[in-house]
Amino acid sequence: MNSPEIIIQIDRDRAQRLGLSTGQIGLEIRTALYGKEISKYKQDEDEYPIMLRYDKATRDNINALINLRITYRDNSGKLLSIPLSTVARIDYTSSYAGIKRLDQKRVITVYSNVLSGYSANDIVPVINREAKKFHFHEGTNIKLTGEQEDQAETATFLMKAMLIALGAIFFILITQFGSVIKSLIILSEVIFSIIGVLLGVIIFHMNLVILMTGLGVVALGGIVVRNGILIVEFIDVKKKEGLPTRRAIIEGGKTRITPVILTATATMLGLVPLAVGMNIDFTTLFTELNPHIYFGGDNVAFWSPLAWSIIFGLSFATFLTLMFVPALYQLDYTVRLKIARRKNLKRIKKLNSL
């Protein structure tokens, strides 16, 4: 947007004939407008500059400024005093209100609020589609920043946090079970939990909040892995007791189904008040026996996505844990058994050939 501007055009030829330089003219104008420090006033340990400049009424009057007198000595040493209008004139024009640069490139920033009932994720695709219809000069492009840039940074951070968490969990599982396959079987529940979160968001038409939903997914990693550890560890115990692998898997699933379901249910029920924004006034509960229960509030927008992501992911992953973890354990055992049989057959053939 253009901004009005006053330009003082200096007649350099006339100024040179009068023995006056453009630097002297600029300093006189700057002193008149912004002032010049001529001394300091000291009070105790503090010092205050004493500035000399025109009064406000004169500074705000362009006619008074153009007629300000410049006192100087010419080339012959003669003391002269001439008005500024002798060597300069005023032009009224317009210019840029300001030039902003980012990475040495000019930047124009357009801000806008989002109306209620809409989100930035609804508006951004529309802006991108409409922006393609505009014809720009070469080297000009459009980049959406603000909330979209923050979302991208948050998603990158949460992705790194998720990978670090999975790496730590994987390392601990390997040290506990001494098997990469068993560790991967348990970690597969994290994939199931993420699928459950996405399905819940899609089915109930909820907004996907990057930060809190991502934190919920990271928290789910530890919760669902615990359920897998309960089943796999109990199957290993039964195998050490002498049960066949298939029978140990059945016993492990039957025995651990109750604690897995109870812990998952307790966790989900405990998160329901946070998900729906249930508020209780404990002060009035004890003083007036009236808790003033109400649902909603500002905290719902912040904590609800976290709670619902854990509820969706945990319910889906718990259901699949009771089926897929024993099935994957049996599949791993079957594959290992077939590989061992093939190796034995190869050894027998080598011995027969000898």
- Identify the CATH number of the domain in which residue 40 sits: 3.30.2090.10
pTM comes to 0.58
CB within 8 Å of 284: residues ≥ 6 apart: 290, 291, 292
- pLDDT tens profile 129-179: 877 777 777 777 777 777 777 777 888 888 888 888 888 888 888 888 888
First to last CA, the chain: 93
In this structure, the answer to whether residues 252 and 128 fall within a common structural domain is: no
Does 67 share its domain with 199? no
Mean pLDDT, the chain, rounded, equals 82
Domain boundary among 97, 132, 159: 97
Quick check: helix, strand or coil at residue 75? Answer: coil
Domain check: are 155 and 69 in the same one? no
Claim to verify: residue 84 and residue 165 sit in the same structural domain: no
Q: Is 257 found in the same domain as 170? A: yes
Q: Band the pLDDT of 354: cuts 50, 70, 90.
A: low
Tally of domains within the chain? 3
Do residues 251 and 345 both lie within one domain?
Answer: yes
What was the pLDDT predicted at 201? 84
User: In this predicted model, what pLDDT tens digit does every residue of 247-264 receive, in sequence order?
Assistant: 888 888 888 888 888 888
Residue 134 and residue 271 share a domain = no
Q: Give residue 98's pLDDT.
A: 67
- Are the C-beta atoms of 86 and 14 separated by less than 8 Å? yes
Domain containing 112: what range?
Answer: 105-145
- Looking at the fold, whether 222 and 343 belong to one and the same domain comes out as yes
Instruction: Please report, for the domain that includes residue 217, its CATH number.
Output: 1.20.1640.10
Say whether both 92 and 178 belong to one domain.
no
97 pLDDT band, cuts 50/70/90, is low
Are 131 and 270 contained in the same domain? Answer: no
Q: Quick one: pLDDT band at residue 96, thresholds 50, 70, 90? A: low
| 57 & 139 share domain | no
Backbone angles phi, psi at 35, to 5 degrees: 95, 170
Tell me: pLDDT of 62 over 80.
yes
| Judgement on whether residues 235 and 332 belong to the same structural domain of the protein | yes
